[in-house]
Amino acid sequence: MSKTVLYWHPMSSATPIACALVELGVAHERVKVDIRTGEQRRPEFLALNPNGKVPTLTVDGAPMFEALAMHLWLGETYGVAKGLWPAEGTPERLQAMSWCVWSYVTYGAQLVRLQAARDMGTPDDAHGSAGHKAMDQLLALLDARLAQQPWMLGEAYSLVDLVVGSVIGYSAYIGAPVQQHAHVAAWLGALQARPAMQADGA
């Protein structure tokens, strides 16, 4: 069995990866990187992740960075056997890839706009308002999907819910109008109630 190590910090963008590892039952070691004191900028960490960020994952010593890449790899490597990721060659796999990238790229781009306005203390300026409106429109698309089924791929929970939900959940924290979309809000609540979602501090 390969040795998997997660370099992580609590309550950070590494949290969804920590939760995915628990959800999948993947044995792994955790190494806490104190991003508050700058440990992520040490040469030995930069050798693993040149971006100097968490999460970082190593598999038998080989490093991987970017959370979305980790999610997709975990899904393909462990999720299919666990019934938490669709098999290659199925229509569901295409949907899984599409929605995961949608959350990080399409929705994520608007999240960045809202985050920037919030950080600058101007969430109601033109930039922040435009990001808020765009997120509302994208949430309406997601809400329409979840009006037809309880989880992203249908009747059963999958890692796609964790991936998309982690982005949507963070956006709600910084002011996205998630609660205005009833199906999204209910789905997010069900997702966040899963035991694996409490695994960040493990």
Domain limits of the chain? 4-84, 91-198
Q: Which residues 6+ apart lie within 8 Å of 35 measured at CB?
A: 9, 12, 53, 54
Residue 200: what pLDDT? 66
Looking at the chain, the whole-number percentage of residues with pLDDT higher than 90 is 82
- The whole-number average pLDDT for the span 96-121 is 89
Yes or no: is domain 4-84 CATH 3.40.30.10?
yes
Residue 124: what pLDDT? 64
More confident residue, 199 or 61: 61
Q: How confident is the model at residue 131 (pLDDT cuts 50, 70, 90)?
A: confident
- The whole-number average pLDDT for the span 179-188 is 98
Give yes or no for residue 202 having a pLDDT over 60.
no
Q: How confident is the model at residue 16 (pLDDT cuts 50, 70, 90)?
A: very high
Whole-model pTM: value is 0.92
Phi-psi label, residue 66: left if phi above 0, alpha if psi -120 to 50, beta otherwise: left
47-61, 110-124, 128-142, 162-176: segment of lowest average pLDDT: 110-124
Residue 128: what pLDDT? 66
Q: How confident is the model at residue 31 (pLDDT cuts 50, 70, 90)?
A: very high
Contact 85, 159 (CB under 8 A): yes
Cα 109 to the center of its chain, rounded Å: 14
Residue 125 tokens read as 């300026």
Distance CA 99, CA 95 (A): 6
Residue 26: what pLDDT? 96
The helix/strand/coil state of 62 is strand
Residue 62 tokens read as 């080989």
Tell me the fold of 91-198: Glutathione S-transferase Yfyf (Class Pi); Chain A, domain 2 (1.20.1050)
DSSP assignment string, 175-201: T--GGGSHHHHHHHHHHHTSGGGGGGG
